[in-house]
């Protein structure tokens, strides 16, 4: 068996690592690093009997991932402090949201930039407040600025001048030029508040659990702000409601980008589906998910995510949603395209997905115009 297959197996069933040889562990840890899943792997197999040098390395990787989450959550806190005087309550997206809510895929997960969603009509205010709180443009040339503002789903990236961390301020979840038009107003309206004052972040999970399915009431997840005193009338941080969180993860994986790091995103989706649904017979959840995905014009992406998650990680899904659809196997190959030395493999398939990533972000004539402008300068 190949190292990527061992990685998938270890995530799905931690006991599967029993009996791996030294060289197999070497390859497994290398591909896990390549997929930015080493901390996740470390968390999954923490209770398994492991060779001593593997245990030491994974323990250190997990501790470091936990520390990185503290840094990521702190960025969210500082963003909150910058925006709360305006009454803007940003919705945390992706890794920071998982960590703030204490969702199961957060354990050991690497978190990159801070991604937040704010209403489009508050974008200018949010931008000004962040800049006065020490964030700066990464790209300040007029073409990039105009390009982002006209065509993208986010402001041009900002970086904090002393903490060196980036923030992506989104006003919707896909580029404006992409074909699906998600109902971002509904996402914002149904977002869930993060409240409370407990610390540390690893003990955040009071309100979450299997019982979440179907409920559309505002759920109070565990607590986030470690310092901010509870102040009447001021906003707090939010996360997407469960079905929207799945829709966004699937959109991020299949409708945006070239699927580099796709295995980690698929693991997120598997974890979210397992956490939010009560299993394959939880009709309420699966129906809600499908109708919500249709509302966002994202059902093809969400359905593909459900199928692939089931196929790789044995997610417990309704049999009506299982089965294979044309092209699924190429997605699978793309997601597992790494050899035992950690090198990316399947050059042609990767290239095709790279080209696809540009085509799905904007219509072809517009893509050509964009590349031409970038190339000429």
Q: Which residue ranges make up the site for another protein (CB under 8 A)?
A: 21-23, 25-26, 29-30, 33-34, 51-54, 56-57, 60-61, 63-64, 66-68, 70-71, 74, 77-78, 81, 134, 136, 138-141, 144, 157, 159, 162-164, 166, 199-200, 226-229, 231, 341-343, 374, 376-377
Whose Cβ is closer to another protein: residue 51's or residue 87's? 51
Beta pairing, strands 91-92 & 114-117: antiparallel
| DSSP state for residue 194 in the 8-state scheme | E
In the bound state with another protein, the residue whose beta carbon lies nearer, of 132 and 319, is 132
Tell me the closest approach of the beta carbon of residue 306 to another protein, in angstroms.
Answer: 31
What's the min distance (Å) between Cβ of 26 and another protein?
4
Q: Which of 292, 233, 195, 215 is closest to 85 using CA atoms?
A: 233
Nearer to another protein, 104 or 134 (CB): 134
First to last CA, the chain: 48
Q: How far is the CB of 71 from another protein (least distance, A)?
A: 5
Among residues 97, 33, 89, the alpha carbon closest in space to that of 65 is found at 33
- Smallest gap from Cβ 163 to another protein, in A, equals 8
Q: Are 169 and 118 in contact (CB under 8 A)?
A: yes
d(CA 38, CA 31): 8
Question: Least distance (Å) from another protein to the CB of residue 80?
Answer: 10
Alpha carbon dihedral 28, 32, 38, 42, in 10-degree steps, equals: -40
Beta strands in the chain (DSSP E): 91-92, 114-117, 135-137, 158-160, 166-170, 192-194, 237-239
Shorter beta-carbon distance to another protein: residue 61 or 259 = 61
Q: Under a CB-based contact definition with an 8 Å cutoff, are residues 206 and 222 in contact? A: yes
Q: Which residues contact 220 (CB under 8 A, 6 or more apart)?
A: 192, 193, 194, 195, 196, 206, 207
Measured CA to CA in angstroms, residue 60 lies from 12, 44, 55, 63, 160 at distances of: 22, 14, 9, 5, 28
Kind and range of the H or E run holding 267: helix 262-276
Tell me how far, at minimum, the Cβ of 369 lies from another protein, in Å: 16
**Length of the chain (residues):** 377
Query: Residue 1 Cβ, how far from another protein at the closest point, in Å?
Result: 17
* Residue 115: strand, helix, or coil: strand
Specify the residue, 92 or 191, whose C-beta has the smaller distance to another protein. 92
Q: Least distance (Å) from another protein to the CB of residue 238? A: 20
Which is closer to another protein, CB of 136 or CB of 215?
Answer: 136
- The distance of Cα 265 from the centroid of its chain, to the nearest Å, equals 6
Provide the Cα torsion 68, 73, 75, 77; round to 10°: -160
Choice between 87 and 211, CB closer to another protein: 87
Q: Which is nearer to another protein, 240 or 337 (CB)?
A: 337
What minimum distance in Å lies between the beta carbon of 91 and another protein? Answer: 22
- CB nearer to another protein: pick between 179 and 343: 343
């Amino acid at each position: 068996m190949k190292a990527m297959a061992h990685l998938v197996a270890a995530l799905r069933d931690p006991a599967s690592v029993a009996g791996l040889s030294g060289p197999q562990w070497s390859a497994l840890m290398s591909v896990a690093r390549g997929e930015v899943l080493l901390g996740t792997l470390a968390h999954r197999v923490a209770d398994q009997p492991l060779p001593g040098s593997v245990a030491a390395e994974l323990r250190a990787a997990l501790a470091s991932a936990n520390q990185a989450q503290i840094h990521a959550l702190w960025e969210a806190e500082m963003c909150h402090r910058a925006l709360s005087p305006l009454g803007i309550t940003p919705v945390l997206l992706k890794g920071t949201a998982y960590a703030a809510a204490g969702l199961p895929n957060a354990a050991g997960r690497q978190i990159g930039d801070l991604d937040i969603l704010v209403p489009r009509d508050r974008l200018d205010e949010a931008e000004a407040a962040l800049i006065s709180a020490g964030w700066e443009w990464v790209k300040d040339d007029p073409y990039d600025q105009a390009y982002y503002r006209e065509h993208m789903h986010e402001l041009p990236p900002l970086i904090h001048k002393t903490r060196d961390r980036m923030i992506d301020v989104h006003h919707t979840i896909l580029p404006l030029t992409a074909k699906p038009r998600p109902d971002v107003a509904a996402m914002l309206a149904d977002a869930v508040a993060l409240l409370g004052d407990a610390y540390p972040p690893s003990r955040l999970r009071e309100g979450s659990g299997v019982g979440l399915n179907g409920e559309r009431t505002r759920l109070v997840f565990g607590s986030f702000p470690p310092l901010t005193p509870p102040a009447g009338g001021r906003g707090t941080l939010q996360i997407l409601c469960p079905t929207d969180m799945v829709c966004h993860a699937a959109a991020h994986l299949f409708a945006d980008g070239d699927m580099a790091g796709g295995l980690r995103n698929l693991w997120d989706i598997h974890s979210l589906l397992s956490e939010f649904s009560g299993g394959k017979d939880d009709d309420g959840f699966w129906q809600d998910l499908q109708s919500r995905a249709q509302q966002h014009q994202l059902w093809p992406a969400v359905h593909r995510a459900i199928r692939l998650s089931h196929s790789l990680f044995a997610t417990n899904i309704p049999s009506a949603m299982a089965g294979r659809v044309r092209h699924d196997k190429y997605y699978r190959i793309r997601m597992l395209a790494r050899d035992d030395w950690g090198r990316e493999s399947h050059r042609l398939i990767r290239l095709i997905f790279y080209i696809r990533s540009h085509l799905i972000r904007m219509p072809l004539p517009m893509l050509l115009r964009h590349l031409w402008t970038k190339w000429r300068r």
